[in-house]
Amino acid sequence: MRKKMMIIERNDDILSILTQIFEEEGYFVTPFSSDKDMLEKVISDKPDVILIDILETSEESTGLCCEIRTVEEIKDIPIIALSTHVKAERIQSICADKLIGKPIDLYELIDVVESQMPPQ
């Protein structure tokens, strides 16, 4: 069975590149350019891992990430935050399992995603 991934990235070019890379790595990728109304989609799709672009440590920016952590049936899905924020490490302490700074090192990102995947 293919590994399922959701990518939520505001920059369409980055979203397209990440989608292509992870599809080539064997993932079934569901890409989104906004986190609006995403909680329901995460609950219904139950991906194996979520990549999410988080701009800052504000409640608005980390909202989806924090909401996922409150829903019993999806709270354990690994979340990898992608961010350019100068205090991005705070995002990891708020809600993410791992943090990757931008610009993204693709080899590091692939390794981190693989390390967060549940055993098959």
Q: How far apart are CA 40 and CA 68, in angstroms?
A: 10
In the chain, domain spans: 1-17+31-54+61-87+96-104
DSSP letter at 6 equals E
Residue type, 98: K
Q: How far apart are CA 103 and CA 19, in angstroms?
A: 16
Decide: helix, strand or coil at residue 115. Answer: helix
pLDDT the model gives residue 79: 94
CB 80 within 8 A of CB 111: no
- pLDDT of 6-63, one tens digit each? 999 989 999 999 999 999 999 999 999 988 888 999 999 999 999 998 876 556 667 8
Phi, psi (rounded to 5 degrees) for 53: -80, 120
The mean pLDDT value of the chain amounts to 88
pTM: 0.89
Q: How far apart are CA 67 and CA 33, in angstroms?
A: 18
Domain range 1-17+31-54+61-87+96-104, CATH architecture: 3-Layer(aba) Sandwich (3.40)
pLDDT the model gives residue 41: 93
